[in-house]
Structures are given as C-alpha cells and as structure tokens.
Structure 1
Amino acid sequence: MLITAIDLVKHGEKKGFFSKQKKPKDRISNVSFQIEKGQCAGLVGESGSGKSTLARILLGLKKIDGGEVQIDGMTADKWRRVNRGKMSVVFQDYLSSVHPSFTVKEIIAEPMRLLKQNQNLDQKVLSLLEQVRLPSSVLNQYAHQLSGGQLQRVCIARAISTHPAILILDEVLSSLDVSVQVQILELLETLKQELDMTMLLITHDVEAAVYLCDRLLFFT
C-alpha cells in the first residue's frame, strides 16, 4: 500500500464578518508526499502548521480544496469505502474520544461490534489489553476512573482492534506527563514491530518523531 498526496490545498477558515482578513491563509498549500506500506512517517510541525488538518483529510473528516490523495491507486474516499475499518486514529484528547458511560471493555469492543466482528469478542478484548500492557482488572472500569496514560492505552487498543492497515496518531503524547510519554512511545515502538500496518505520527515533538519514525515530513 502506498499513500500518495499530490499538490494538496486546504484553505483556512474564514474569519468573522468584521475581520480585516478578507482572504484566510491556506492551512495546507501545494503539499506532496508518499508513504510506503509498513512505514512509520512523522508529520512534524508547530500548532497551526496544518499537520492535524492533513490527518483529518486522510480520515475523510475534512475535504480538500485542491490536489489529490490516493491510497493503493484509489482515491482516499474510495479506499476507505472498500476497506471499512482499515484506517484508525488515536486523538490527543483521550477523554472526549470515548463514550463516558462505556466501560473499558465496551470502548475497546465498539469498533468490532460496528463491523460485526463479534466472534470471541471477550477474548479479543483481553488480548488487546495485554498488547497495550493493561491488566484485565480495568475491564469494567470507566474512563474517569483511569489515569491519562491508561486511557490513552485503551484508545490505542480500540484503534488496533480491527487490524488497521493505516494507523494515524494525532498528538497522542501531548496531554501526558513526560514519564508517561516515554512509556507510550515504547508501546508504539513495540506495536510497530509486531503489527503489519502503516503509521502516521502527527506531532510537534521532534525527538519523539525521531525515536519512532522511519522518515520525517516537516510542516512550517
């Protein structure tokens, strides 16, 4: 699988009616790149540089204003339709990423239920917990009962539950303490070695990107 972006353009949001800025600055302007199958690529840049916008374009959450994104020779929209559940994401804000009334078991199982992958569901959830180094004792706990690091691990387990071909990690370290960031990075490095997937790390942390990624793309 090859992800190819060709001359991508995404216009910035228009300001309010009374703003002096008549034409907003482009969030993404003529960006092109390729990511090979199995590669871990880091998109590095400061806040507002457009890197998270690019992640949302790949996920289909935002439309492009120019250019093209292809995955495996198909448009990104068509690839997502044909390969439902094969692109996953872990967001920075782990609390708002999960249903507050769901237990850990329900959070992790949700994507599999949606794709009707219900066979041996309990065992799959236990196996995923083990993969992200969480004890089975958290199964029936709720998001508010977990630490930030634990909840981000739950979000990672949910993201890999459908065996995605592409995993997007959008500032997954930013809201965590430094010691927990190191633990999550080590976990991601292990998953990178164990799982056959392409990873895209969106971050402002150059050191984290250098540690985890095979190549870096800088957004300015």
Structure 2
Amino acid sequence: MKTLLETKNLKKYFPVTGGVFKRKIDDVKAVDGVDLKINEGECLGLVGESGCGKTTLGKTIMRLNDPTKGHIFYNVSEEIKQEIEELEKKENSKSRRLFELEEKYCLAEFEGNRLKKMREKIQMVFQDPASSLNPRMLVKSIIGEPLAVHGYEGDNRERVLDLLQEVGLGGEHLYRYPHEFSGGQRQRIAIARALAVDPEMLVLDEPTSALDVSVQAQILNLLKRLQDELGLTYLFITHDLTVADYMCDRIAVMYLGRIVEQTRMEKLFESPMHPYTDALLSSIPIPDPKARGEEITLIEGEVPSPRNPPSGCRFHPRCPYAKEKCGQKYPPLEEVDEGHYVSCWYPLEDGREGLTAKSKERPEGG
C-alpha cells in the first residue's frame, strides 16, 4: 500500500518565557519525536487524552504550526526518504545535497507559494465550527474563499452550490450567516469549505465532539461517504474510541507527545499491548444499563507536564508494569506483530501476546 504522508522524528516545542526581558527559560514539548505513516485512501485514527498533543500534531502536519524539528513527507518516494536519512547520519549532515532534498521534498521546509500549493492537497476540518467559520461572512463567501485564494478557474457560485449539495445543504443556504445554522449544519459547511480545492487528504480534528450524538452519526456517515466517493485519505483525531472504531482502518495511540501504540483497528481491541491503551479501552462505557462490564483499569497519578516530562518511558510513573529500565531509557516504537507497533518494554521484552490473555469484545461503532 502506498504511503501518502509520513512524519519522521517530528517535534513541536512551544517556548516558555520568564523574567523582566521575557527570555526563553524552557519548552513545552507538545509533540516530541512522532513517527507516523498514513497510507493512501485509508483513515488513520489518532487517539489519546486531552492535552496529549493530538491537535498540535495535526496543525503541525498542516503547517499551521511550524515544526521545531523533524520531517513531513507528502507523496515522496522511499528512495528520496532513504537518501535524506542516510545523509543525516553522516558526519557532514549539513551537506548541500541534504539541504536541496529537504527544501524540495520536506513539507516542514516549505514556504510561500510552495506551501500554498501544498494546501490544495491537504485541508483541515476543525473541532468547533462556530469558531472556525467567520461570523461576518455569508456561506457563499466562506466556501468560495479557498477558490479565490487558489485561483480556481470557472463559475465559483456554481462550484459553491455543488459543494453545498455534496454535504447535504442547498442553494437556499448560500446567503445566510453561520449563526443561522445548527451545529451539524455549520460542520457541513466547514467540510464543504475543506473540499473546495479538491484535496487528497483531510485532517479531521475531533469533527463531531461538539455535536449532539444523533448529529454526530450524520456527520460520520457523511465523512465515510465522501471518502468512498472522492477517494480521500483521513487523519482522524478523536478522544472517543467508539467513534475511531467506526471510522478508522488503523489507529495510533498518543501519550504526552509521543505515539505509544499503532496497529489495525480490530487488533487494538483484541490485543492491546501498551498499558495506557489497555486503560483507555477498559474505560469505554457499555451502551446497556443492565450489562456488567469488566473492571475499569485505573491509572494512578496525574498526567505529567509536557514542560518537564519524565525520563525514560513517559508513562512509567503511572504504569502498573513499570520496571527499573522504564525510567532510564525510552522504548523504541517497534513492530512486535504484523503491522502492530508498540513503545513499551513490557511487551518488547517479556512477550508479544499483549496485556490481556483473552480478547476484548469490540464495542458497537458509531
């Protein structure tokens, strides 16, 4: 399967300033060395607690945040990526050839018109449509703005109308303002805006979390239909594992700025290998008041500050399986089963069967 987007050792730090002269005294390590692959035509889910860096990662991939370090490759051949990696390992890592390759192929280095051109291929749908839509603009102007910015040739009004119909709205909505719509309708408008320039990939930042449950189902079904009809690739950011189960082909679990587990969606529910993933799965509510679920795996302690993360594995202060090595060295994200990657010394060294001997039943999706 072709890799459409890949990040390598991607980092985004936010400076902390202090003192009279507001000098930098520290960094908030929101994204700290993320390796991620998204295949063409798939929906990759990104899950984790609030504050783990999911949205920051999505915005950094979109270049709404400038990366502190690392690479973002979009539709780049494996040969080019391999050459860049080999050049970085050499003593003279700042060679002219490396500079030329990064400038040409690494999205993290794009500026000006090249970055603007890339935005035609990757678009983003934000969490809260009420704040992501300009309240002073009519719907026809909101959806038509990307067409004007990117120099779309043709009848913009006709294109805007087609986009509205694509997301379940109509011509009667062209001359209304965002406040005249419900939350679900506003999110449909945001999706139409993202589709205006015919992108190949969408970064969806919790697109249904601000909506009622019944409206969530409508938007999720709309997104699945659009993916099938238009051949889109999704990075689906969410904190809801049941939504991820319904939407996603593969899943990546994030904790404190790093990916701790990545695998196929069904594999995650059947055999989680990271203690943090196991705790997330055990907390999924069962939609039946008479049913008795398994005991919830409690995680002790508070989430550490990304400004001063723990040494070694970042989860080890809260992990029931932690050993001495966990606090000394960060476990690499390694493949322990076909397509199943985990960053944890417990399954890497003591077995590959996962944390639970028996399979967990998957919750009803959607």
Shorter-chain TM-score above 0.5: yes
The one of 48, 51, 66 equivalent to 1:48 is 51
- Normalising by structure 2, report the TM-score: 0.56
> What does 1:83-94 correspond to in 2, within 5 Å?
83-94=118-129
Q: CA RMSD in A?
A: 2.0
Q: Percent identity?
A: 40
* Conserved? CA contact 1:80–1:87, under 8 Å: no
Q: Match of 2:9, as an amino acid?
A: D
The one of 22, 30, 34 equivalent to 1:31 is 34
Q: Match of 1:109, as an amino acid?
A: G
Alignment pair present for 1:72 and 2:75: yes
Alignment pair present for 1:209 and 2:244: yes
- Normalising by structure 1, report the TM-score: 0.90
Q: Match of 1:164, as an amino acid?
A: P
* Conserved? CA contact 1:80–1:86, under 8 Å: no
Task: Give unmatched runs, 5+ long, in structure 1.
Answer: none
* Conserved? CA contact 1:104–1:141, under 8 Å: yes
Shift of 1:84: 4.2
Corresponding residue SS for 1:27: strand
Q: Which moved more, 1:121-130 or 1:79-88?
A: 79-88
State the structure with more CA Rg: 2
The one of 101, 112, 119 equivalent to 2:154 is 119
For 1:94-114, what per-residue CA distance to the aligned partner results, in whole angstroms no more than 9, with x for missing partners? 122122121111111110111
- Between the aligned partners of 2:209 and 2:219, the Cα distance in structure 1 is 11
1:194–1:81 Cα change, 3 Å: same
Equivalence for 1:188 = 223
Shift of 1:135: 2.7
- Between the aligned partners of 1:14 and 1:75, the Cα distance in structure 2 is 27
For 1:56-101, what per-residue CA distance to the aligned partner results, in whole angstroms no more than 9, with x for missing partners? 1111121222322211222114363543422111111212212212
Equivalence for 2:309 = none
- Between the aligned partners of 1:64 and 1:116, the Cα distance in structure 2 is 28
Shift of 1:30: 2.1
Corresponding residue SS for 2:235: strand
For 1:8-61, what per-residue CA distance to the aligned partner results, in whole angstroms no more than 9, with x for missing partners? 2223552765xxxx7455222222121111121111111100110101111112
* Conserved? CA contact 2:226–2:232, under 8 Å: no
Q: Match of 1:4, as an amino acid?
A: E
- Between the aligned partners of 2:227 and 2:54, the Cα distance in structure 1 is 21
Task: Give unmatched runs, 5+ long, in structure 2.
Answer: 20-24, 77-104, 256-366
For 1:146-178, what per-residue CA distance to the aligned partner results, in whole angstroms no more than 9, with x for missing partners? 111101100000100110012111111111111
- Between the aligned partners of 1:150 and 1:91, the Cα distance in structure 2 is 14
Alignment pair present for 1:146 and 2:181: yes
Alignment pair present for 1:134 and 2:136: no
Deviating 4+ runs (over 6 angstroms): none
- Between the aligned partners of 1:201 and 1:174, the Cα distance in structure 2 is 12
- Between the aligned partners of 1:171 and 1:84, the Cα distance in structure 2 is 20
- Between the aligned partners of 1:9 and 1:90, the Cα distance in structure 2 is 22
> What does 1:168-183 correspond to in 2, within 5 Å?
168-183=203-218
Q: Match of 1:139, as an amino acid?
A: L
Corresponding residue SS for 2:169: coil
1:143–1:206 Cα change, 3 Å: same
Shift of 1:129: 1.1
- Between the aligned partners of 2:159 and 2:127, the Cα distance in structure 1 is 25
- Between the aligned partners of 1:53 and 1:192, the Cα distance in structure 2 is 24
1:96–1:16 Cα change, 3 Å: farther
* Conserved? CA contact 1:91–1:169, under 8 Å: yes
- Between the aligned partners of 1:70 and 1:118, the Cα distance in structure 2 is 28
